[in-house]
A and B are shown apart, each in its own frame.
Chain A
Amino acid sequence: MATVELRNLRKTYLHEEIIKGVSLVIAEREFIVFVGPSGCGKSTLLRMIAGLEDISAGDLLIDGQRVNDTEPARRGLAMVFQSYALYPHMNVYRNMEFSLRLAGMPEAERRQRIGDVARILQLDPYLDHKPGQLSGGQRQRVAIGRAIVRNPRVFLFDEPLSNLDAALRGQMRVELASLHRRLGATTIYVTHDQVEAMTMADRIVVLNKGVVEQIGTPLELYHRPRNLFVARFMGSPPMNLLPVTINAQIPEGSVQVRTETLSVSIPTQQTGLEAGAPATLGIRPEHIRIDPQGAVQGVIEISERLGAVTLLHVRLPDGQMIVVQTGGDNADRADTPIRMTFEEEHCHLFDADGMALARSTDHPLLAGA
């Protein structure tokens, strides 16, 4: 297993910089997820690590060795492509055998290896099938198998689950996670789906327009987003964001913000906030409580019942919409006026530039992080 280090990696394509200096150290056995909206550069970054794209500037190190100019196959990586990229003219066995054959591995050893991998992935019955005869999930497994047989130092995944239906995606997510635990291989995984990122990653790298917005564990990103972009991107349903004005800073580490119709005090260690400055208040749907004595009022427009939870889309008096997550047994119907309380210790505050202001309380799971 291996470490991967990115030192100020840059990629320029036709005079346009699309990766603008990414630095990152990936530890052995770590499962790293690159996440971001389409066009953020996450796939390009992965392909640079794979060796499929030239690196315009910066250094890429695998196990401490600079591999910028090393051929893809010699970097000790294996990649699972979004389209699986199976060789359509070879059966499953041949697909997995191809790299071993090119590497000159003896026949007996090849058969042994492929047999082992096929067993792990339950592909035994399909070894002589062509990819065209397999279902999406099976093809996915073959693609993973083709990566595993090479015994690579690092696994690269490029949106591997995006072509599967929702149920299969959930199942493969769990399989991939357990496969990672079993093989313990360093893994870099690209996705645009923040659920995949949250559930599988040891650490997540949020990318936006070729720039790293934040690197951290899933819970760090969820509870301590560094800026508005990350706050918006992580979490489903997304965080509610309301434009507010700083009212006044209260000496004992909190600040009061208000809109025309509500006012909230948020604990913060940030100092030097100017009264009257614009800011953004962020609060996740699960941190808004329905409370008959609550200070915030609104009218339910739509109630989405997901079973375990119910999402209430509430219109505030100033016309803004927010989403409130309540229990699945909530009986409120559309057009009902309700009152709510924002849990102040869970509120986020972002300044006019979209940067998060320092918090004074923290999530218990993150204590010490």
Chain B
Amino acid sequence: MARTSTHMRHAAITVLAWGIALWMFFPILWMVLTGFKSEPDAISTPPHFFFSPTISSYQDVFARENYWHFATNSVVISAMATVVALLVSVPAAYAMAFLPGPRTRMTLLWMLSTRMLPSVGVLVPIYLLARATGLLDSRTGLIVIYMLTNLPITVWMLYTFFREVPVAILEAGRMDGATRWQEVTQVLMPLALPGIASTGLLSLILCWNETFWSLNLTSSIAAPLTTFIASFSSPEGLFFAKLSAASTLAVAPIMVFGWVSQKQLVRGLTFGAVK
């Protein structure tokens, strides 16, 4: 009796959990499927689950929509912003974790508070500044802004990871005669590399998916994939298969990144408050 009720409960959990998972994932799955449909198939009513797949929409996206231009922008902007953010935040996080002063805590909180400044509040000056300096619709402009908006998060995340490195190991390095530079490069870096990698990954994801600044500051030359996809909101979006193919291409790389690094993302996104 007790055994059957356990079985029932187990079955109910399995069904419920899988049902919700599939419902949550269904739009993404449907998007991927639609990308392999022909346009008539894509808007057939009722919708088809089974159809003869074609890659013509993908070919279209590559050939006619200049996909590579936008993808290159996304890659270059995200990568550059991430690299620069890491270059600035690794030394800062190192100092905060290992050379803390009386004001370190305040500095950290202040940095976080700058992230809470709503971007829309400074849209006007940033837009005007970008226009005045010729950075409107330029990769450099977005790189600088992405780097700045991500800086508080990368500093915090790295700080969290550095704090997890036992201080005694660094002290052992000093006792063994390592200079500050050797201590960092030969002892700390190998230990903190996974943390630095996942910080970079998170920064990449945030940059890749950022829409406020990319929609407002870029139109064509420096437009990343977010802007490219937004252009489908015009009536052209009714080419469902093409929209789906383009969207799939835009989200696939970063979604795979996300799947791989979900554990580390939690720690980064919560500033170490949730283990």
Does A touch B (CB under 8 Å) in the complex?
yes
- Binding stretch for chain B, among A82-90, A269-277, A303-311, A313-321: A82-90
Q: Does A121 contact B (CB under 8 A)?
A: no
- Is B168 touching A73 in the complex (CB atoms < 8 A)? no
In the bound complex, CA of A87 to CA of B166 (Å): 10
User: Which of B19-27, B86-94, B131-139, B174-182 contacts the other chain?
Assistant: B174-182
Are A79 and B172 in touch, CB under 8 angstroms?
Answer: yes
| Contact call A72/B175, Cβ cutoff below 8 A | yes
Chain B interface: which of A98-106, A181-189, A244-252, A348-356?
A98-106
CB distance from A93 to the nearest CB of B (A): 14
Q: Is the interface of B mostly helix, strand, loop or mixed?
A: helix
Report B-chain residues with C-beta under 8 Å of the C-beta of A79: 171-172, 175
Are B187 and A87 in touch, CB under 8 angstroms? yes
In whole angstroms, what is the CA distance A150 to B177 when docked?
10
A89 touches B175 (CB 8 A): no
Given A88-B191, A89-B191, A102-B182, CB of A83 within 8 Å of CB of B177? no
How close is B194's CB to chain A, nearest CB, in angstroms? Answer: 11
A78 interface contact, C-beta 8 A: yes
- Among B169, B175, B178, max chain A CB count under 10 A is at B175
Total A-B residue pairs with C-beta atoms closer than 8 Å?
Answer: 58
CB-contact partner of B168 in A77, A83, A98, A103, under 8 A: A83
What chain B residues lie within 8 Å of A74 (beta carbons)? 177
User: Cα distance A33–B273 when bound, in Å?
Assistant: 40
Contact of A103 among B166, B169, B174, B177 (CB under 8 A): B177
A81 at the interface (CB under 8 A from B): yes
Interface: A50 (CB within 8 A): yes
Q: Is the CB of B168 within 8 A of A82?
A: yes
The chain B residue sitting closest to A156, CB to CB, is B175
Which residues in A have their C-beta under 8 angstroms from that of B40? none
**Bound complex: CA A50 to CA B177 (Å):** 12
A52 is an interface residue with CB less than 8 A from chain B = yes
Whether, in the assembled complex, B190 has its beta carbon less than 8 Å from a beta carbon of chain A, the answer is yes
Alpha-carbon gap, A85 to B175, bound state (A): 11
Q: Whole-angstrom distance from the CB of B51 to the nearest CB of chain A?
A: 52
Among candidates B169, B177, B182, residue contacting A87 with C-beta atoms closer than 8 Å: B169
List chain B residues, Cβ under 8 A from A146: 172, 176
**Interface magnitude class on chain B:** 10 to 19
- B168 near A99 with CB under 8 A, answer no
Nearest-neighbour CB distance to chain A for B28, whole angstroms, equals 38
- Nearest CB in chain A: distance from B58 CB, A: 43
Asked if residues B172 and A81 are in contact (CB atoms below 8 Å), the reply is: yes
CA distance A98 to B190 in the complex (A): 14
CB proximity of A296 to chain B, nearest CB, Å: 50
0/1 string, A162-196, CB within 8 A of B gives 1: 00000000000000000000000000000000000
Pick the residue among A82, A83, A88, A98 that contacts B176 (CB under 8 A). Answer: A98
Q: Mark A99-133, 1 if CB is under 8 A from B, else 0.
A: 10011000000000000000000000000000000
Chain A nearest CB from B169 CB (Å) reads 5
User: A85 touching B168 by the CB < 8 A rule?
Assistant: yes
Nearest CB of A to B172, in Å: 4
- Residues from chain A with a CB closer than 8 A to the CB of B175 are 50-52, 72-73, 77-79, 99
Known pairs A102-B177, A102-B182; A52 contacts B171 (CB<8 A):
yes
- Neighbouring B residues of A82 by C-beta, 8 Å: 168
With a CB–CB cut-off of 8 A, which chain A residues contact B182? 102
Residues of B contacting A87 with CB < 8 Å? 169, 172-173, 187, 190
Contact B174–A73 (Cβ < 8 Å) = yes
Bound together, the chains give a CA A84 to CA B190 distance in angstroms of: 18
A79 to B176 Cα, complex, angstroms:
9
Which parts of B173-217 form the interface with A (CB within 8 Å)? 173-178, 182, 186-187, 190-191
Contact A85 B169 (CB under 8 A): yes
Scan residues 121-179 of chain B and give those whose CB is less than 8 A from a CB of chain A: 166, 168-169, 171-178
Nearest opposing residue in chain B for A47, CB measure: B171
| Chain B residues with CB under 8 A of A103 | 177
In the complex, the chain B residue whose C-beta lies closest to that of A103 is B177
Residues in A with CB closer than 8 Å to B191 are 88-89
In the complex, how many angstroms separate the beta carbon of A315 from the nearest chain B beta carbon? 46
Nearest CB in chain B: distance from A243 CB, A: 44
B-contact bits for A36-65, CB 8 A (1 contact / 0 none):
000000000000001110000000000000
Q: Once bound together, how far apart are the Cα atoms of A241 and B141, in whole Å?
A: 77
Expressed in whole angstroms, the Cα–Cα distance for A157 and B236 within the complex equals: 74
- 16 sample A-B contacts, Cβ–Cβ < 8 Å, listed by A number: A51-B174, A52-B175, A72-B171, A72-B174, A72-B175, A79-B171, A79-B172, A87-B169, A87-B173, A88-B169, A89-B190, A98-B186, A102-B178, A102-B182, A103-B177, A146-B176
The 10 closest A-B pairs by CB, nearest first: A73-B177, A99-B176, A85-B168, A85-B172, A89-B190, A102-B177, A81-B168, A85-B169, A79-B175, A83-B168
B residues apposed to A, CB below 8 Å: 166, 168-169, 171-178, 182, 186-187, 190-191
- B-binding residues in A (CB < 8 A): 50-52, 71-74, 77-79, 81-83, 85-89, 98-99, 102-103, 146, 150
Given contacts A73-B175, A102-B178, A146-B176, could you give 18 more A-B pairs where the C-beta distance is less than 8 Å?
Answer: A50-B175, A51-B174, A51-B175, A52-B171, A72-B175, A73-B174, A79-B172, A81-B168, A81-B171, A87-B169, A87-B173, A89-B190, A98-B173, A98-B186, A99-B176, A103-B177, A146-B172, A150-B176
